[in-house]
Structure 1
């Protein structure tokens, strides 16, 4: 009997203190504008309909059998936080730092620097934070690939630590593609700036930009055989022949990702794929210009064992386009297509014989448009889905813990066996000890930002960007209807103690007014808010 107990204890210890594979491949899928509530695994009673409003109608519920299984085989995090909107959230992911260091506070509120030629420019992340997620993977010995949305504002995409890439547009002002006219351009007409749909010559769209779904603008970075670092795609007579309104950017991105994986398998080095998909983002629909939401996707259907995809056959008609061969609009279709792509990833990994040596991560950059994106209210803007499968991990299924997207950079460093330089400030914490031991928790608090506003939460309380405190001890059915704390005597001493702890943390990151830009920016070039000293906040009084 004693021998049996000893064996059981030994088995438990082996399970509770497992080790990750040595330098596993890593695939990080970073979706666009998708709140945690949109994924069925999170169990929300409310999600988003095609017009961007709240709904509980099952017909608008995403169906994610593959992600559901991945969340069960791996684990899913109940409270993962990003920033509240795209650019600063991507900065958080790529740097492992908060805005007090990288200075990307909000879309349109980005820290500035002075170029060598004396021009003001957005401070690139590779200058504010010279050790980015791509550099970390390269330093750990990985082949690195970046696919999809960039949104790196006036930056040199070759400096982010990625060997190669395939990009669909992610910021305003991109040049005209020689292959697609699906673009919104700004023109002055009678002294007024007007948005024009270049494909029709008519007014359309809310801001300049190009298609990142159908008939997309696509470019390749460092593709073998090309003469320049950045090349427009389609880039061969064959791909140009097939290009048109039925070309779907998410398909192109995955084709090139798989081509890279196959081409690099003979190098003996692992790969890191950073897949920043546009799926989830609403935009102008060139097929249905009056519909301002999520353009339809190719149709996919899960038959219980596999996905079946219907090849699009969109055709131009006298009235516009016949789109009967693709789905109707709606974010749920985007999420369904992401699920289909995760299935394709899994098939590819099995085919290459590396499924059990690959870490697969799915998350998003901020809340859903119309519900959470840019919101400072509670955690609407920053609560995102997070699912991870890591071979040999000890955690499975639902994990009621806190995670920040800053945690990904040190996690990748840890998985790759790379030690971050001493003295280099990182705000994230590696997930590896949590994933591979019996460590019960990840972190005590998570943080986000929205311009000058700060958001922070612990296990019991949350302070949002509207300076309101909320009791988050229990998760409501809709994941957001927390009780506001107006009387601190009505909650426990544990709540009050956590509030005091969180309030002491915030001043370290509260530099929007006094250190908004590159510290080396000449005084005369700084914004007025950057020049004035911020008054020390008065001690807060709580009822």
Structure 2
């Protein structure tokens, strides 16, 4: 009862001071970034240009804004997502694990039959008809989705009023405004990738430009007719669009425009910003580059504010000159650009007078490419950064918190903050962390869980089982965040360790349905792998 009282008191603080019962919420969900890449986690190593461990200070991200937020807000020491993009985003949007939504891995997603009997990937709005966007809409929020989607099905059915996708899906191949894309062709009987910018074959995975000269598709934008439209869509935007246009900047411009328009309605907003920043990509400016992460616009911090250098790239057909206006490659520069974008968010909220009535969550979907992405080893693939900042709401916690948290916990937290009840009988696997943030509650949860296809990972406060069935002592955190002591002789371990192991094995049993309930209920056919 006391916890609920304090949680209500924290919300009442917002009501009395700011005259609004529901705070705005921004979820900034970065792509393929391990916790070790954020300096606030204090790792002794981070990723070099190919994703391997380094302690080179020149390859360390600079994040002065997030480091300040980490002191004033909350950083979660051990937050888990899935081991790769698709199931992690499913976990975030549904608050559920794959035994329900069936998104087991990127190329291992459950199937269903559509109304025409065709076997297709089971969309999340079919398996889980109350997604995070739906929660916000039900609570009276305006909702916006920016960045990449990686979602199967109709994007208008996920609970978002509007969107800006850069690009949303690889199926969007007909963009007339940019040739930064790969085209699949047959050459000597084999499929090859052609760089549309140069006309030459290239070694990569098929992708469109989501950083420079990006593919931008708008959803329900008031400036364009129809549900979906390409951008640029005006004489002015067409004149300015080109190789100097940076996708993450475009996303933020549209998000800010939405926030301005939403404020005029007097209703709160929910922004789900699934940025590409952190994801490796083909470098269209330097097609032969061996580095995973193309350079970003240059930004510099003077101790009080950021200055961004306007990109001045010239050239064509794979031969470009950046004129010193773009950073060197590397994920550290992507993380630094995230810091710059968070600074822009904070400035925008202050300008709007909403900084004291907005909750900002910063997280990522899985581990860094080359290090953890897709890996079920220890917690390489699932240990992600997680920060919460809300200066107008009185948290009882501040700084780094040694607790366990799942990306699935965001869904029930949104429901609690937005005052939306979960339908009776509707299974949610996440647990709201709001009471933990706003009361004297010391711990959030006793265990966290994730998976890679049939491989299950689970961690308590003392021991962890990875996807290979190996057990690790996690009672202490090593300097590199990963070199835990392996447990090979249980007879030599304490009763507390063995008891927790047994509890964890029992806890994850209901989720172990990959082999027997892989697809949508009633689906008969080949698995969609």
Q: Distance in 2 between matches of 1:126 and 1:152?
A: 10
Distance 2:260 2:170 in 1: 33
Aligned residue for 1:343?
Answer: 343
What is the CA deviation profile of residues 180-224 of structure 1, one whole-angstrom value per residue up to 9, with x for unaligned ones?
A: 000011111110110110111101242222010000000110011
Counterpart selection for 1:190 from 188, 196, 206: 188
> What is the CA–CA distance in structure 1 between the aligned matches of 2:114 and 2:237, rounded to whole Å?
38
Question: Does the C-alpha gap of structure 1 residues 527 and 110 become closer, same or farther in structure 2, counting only changes over 3 Å?
Answer: closer
Matched with 1:434 is 436
Per the alignment, residue 119 of structure 2 pairs with: 120
| TM-score, with length taken from structure 2 | 0.95
CA apart distance, 1:417: 1.0
Q: Secondary structure at the match of 2:334?
A: helix
Could you tell me which residue of structure 2 aligns to residue 387 of structure 1?
387
CA shift for structure 1 position 120: 1.1
Provide the C-alpha distance between the structure 2 equivalents of 1:245 and 1:118, rounded to a whole number of angstroms.
43
The aligned residue for residue 159 of structure 2 is 161
The TM-score with structure 1 as length reference comes to 0.93
1:93 paired residue number: 92
Q: Name the counterpart of 1:9.
A: none
Matched, 1:406 2:408: yes
Where 1:341 maps in the other structure, the secondary structure is: helix
Say if 1:280 and 1:334, in contact at 8 Å, map to a contact too: yes
Query: CA separation in 2, counterparts of 1:495 and 1:422?
Result: 36
Counterpart pick for 2:449 among 430, 447, 450: 447
Q: How does 1:180-329 map to 2 (within 5 A)?
A: 180-291=178-289, 292-316=291-315, 320-323=319-322, 324-329=324-329
Shift of 1:366: 0.1
| Alpha carbons 1:19, 1:436 under 8 Å: kept | no
Partner of 2:508, secondary structure, is helix
Task: For 1:224 and 1:317, locate their aligned partners in 2 and report how far apart those are by CA, in whole Å.
Answer: 33
Judge which range, 46-55 or 332-341, deviates more: 46-55
For residues 370 and 42 of structure 1, the distance between their equivalents in structure 2, rounded to whole angstroms, comes to: 19
Give distance in 1, aligned partners of 2:317 and 2:419: 59
In structure 2, the residue matched to 1:332 is 332
Does the 8 A contact of 1:196 with 1:205 survive in 2?
A: no
Residues matched between the structures, number: 514
Verify the 8 A CA contact 2:74 2:389 in the aligned structure 1.
Answer: yes
Question: CA separation in 1, counterparts of 2:434 and 2:144?
Answer: 22
Deviations 1:475-514 (A, max 9, x none): 0000000000001122221111100000001210000010
Q: What residue number does 1:18 align with?
A: 10
Q: Determine helix, strand or coil for the equivalent of 2:449.
A: strand
The one of 516, 519, 524 aligned to 2:518: 516
Structure 1 residues 528 and 405: alpha-carbon distance in aligned structure 2, compared to 1, 3 A threshold: closer
- How far did residue 392 of structure 1 move? 1.5
In the TM superposition, residue 317 of structure 1 has moved relative to its aligned partner by 6.4
Question: Residue 67 of structure 1: SS of its match in structure 2?
Answer: helix
Aligned mates of 1:198, 1:319 — CA distance in 2: 10
Q: Distance in 2 between matches of 1:394 and 1:95?
A: 27
Name the SS for the 1:18 alignment partner: helix
Per-residue displacement from partner, 1:35-61 (whole Å, max 9, x unpaired)?
Answer: 000000000000001122110010000
Deviation at 1:119, TM superposition (A): 1.2
> Matches of 1:150 and 1:23 in 2, distance apart?
26
Match of 2:508 in 1: 506
User: Does structure 2 retain, via aligned residues, the 8 Å contact 1:205–1:284?
Assistant: no
SS at match of 2:429: coil
The yes-or-no answer on 1:369 pairing with 2:369 is yes
Who is 1:352 aligned against? 352
Distance 1:318 1:204, change over 3 A: closer
Q: Distance in 1 between matches of 2:316 and 2:476?
A: 53
Structure 2 Cα separation of the partners of residues 148 and 528 of structure 1: 26
- Higher mean Cα deviation, 202-211 or 498-507? 202-211
3-state DSSP class of the match of 2:458? strand
Residue matched to 1:179 = 177
Structure 2's unaligned 5+ residue stretches are 15-20
Task: Supply the distance in 1 between the matched residues of 2:375 and 2:397 (Cα, whole angstroms).
Answer: 32
Q: For the aligned residues, what is the CA RMSD?
A: 1.6
SS of the residue corresponding to residue 214 of structure 1 reads coil
Change (3 A) 1:222 1:528: closer
Q: Cα distance, 1:264 vs. partner? A: 1.1
Does the C-alpha gap of structure 1 residues 100 and 16 become closer, same or farther in structure 2, counting only changes over 3 Å? closer
For the residue of structure 2 that corresponds to 1:444, the secondary structure is coil
CA distance in 2, matches of 1:14, 1:527: 48
Deviation at 1:226, TM superposition (A): 2.3
SS in 1 for 2:10: coil
Return the offset for 1:170.
4.4
Cα shift readout 1:443-494 (whole Å, capped 9, x = no counterpart): 1100001011010000000000011000000000000000000011222211
In 2, Cα distance between the equivalents of 1:528 and 1:278?
A: 25
Shift of 1:225: 4.2
On the 8 A contact 1:295/1:329 being kept in 2, the answer is: yes
- Secondary structure of the equivalent of 1:210? coil
Q: Distance in 2 between matches of 1:350 and 1:269?
A: 17
